[in-house]
Amino acid sequence: MEIKTEDYRIWYEPDISTIFLQGFLRLDGMEAYKPVMDLAINALERSPLHLTLNLRELEFLNSSGISMLSMFVVKVRQKGDVEMTLEGSDKILWQTKSLKNLQRLMPSLTLILS
């Protein structure tokens, strides 16, 4: 499971139940994010207990992207039986603000900014 272009790369590593998002993610509208959402949901189904989202090298995510991420967090919360960790970077400005908001959607979400 991997989506790769010049600007970004998204993939899932089943051994560590981790989805990686890297680069500049600026897709045009929610519809364009469907493959990314599908990859994430697929990974969620394959991660029975715990899922990690590694965003440490995601330099940029546009508004459609953050709304896709928000909806994914809601889906994980609704599923109810999977714990999730968000790993981000405190050197990337948008992550310091927006990732905390995602925690409001799923209070049990673990957020690690480093």
How many residues touch other proteins under the rule CB under 8 A: the total is 18
User: SS3 for 16-57, per residue?
Assistant: HCEEEEEEEECCCCCHHHHHHHHHHHHHHHCCCCEEEEEEEE
Q: What residues numbered 37-76 form the site for other proteins, per CB under 8 A?
A: 60-63, 66-67, 70-71, 74
Q: Rounded distance, CA 16 to CA 51, Å?
A: 8
User: In this complex, which beta carbon is closest to other proteins, that of residue 32 or of residue 60?
Assistant: 60
Smallest separation (angstroms) from other proteins to the CB of 16: 27
Q: Rounded distance, CA 2 to CA 112, Å?
A: 24
Smallest separation (angstroms) from other proteins to the CB of 73: 9
User: In this complex, which beta carbon is closest to other proteins, that of residue 17 or of residue 95?
Assistant: 95
Q: Kindly indicate which of the ranges 4-12, 30-38, 81-89, 91-99 contains the residues binding other proteins, using the contact rule CB under 8 A.
A: 91-99
Let me know: does 89 contact 55? Beta carbons within 8 Å.
yes
Let me know: does 27 contact 64? Beta carbons within 8 Å.
yes
Residue 32 interacting with other proteins (CB under 8 A): no
Bridge-based pairing of strands 18-25 and 2-4 is: unpaired
Residue 94 interacting with other proteins (CB under 8 A): yes
Chain residues binding other proteins by CB under 8 A are: 60-63, 66-67, 70-71, 74, 92-94, 97-98, 101-102, 104-105
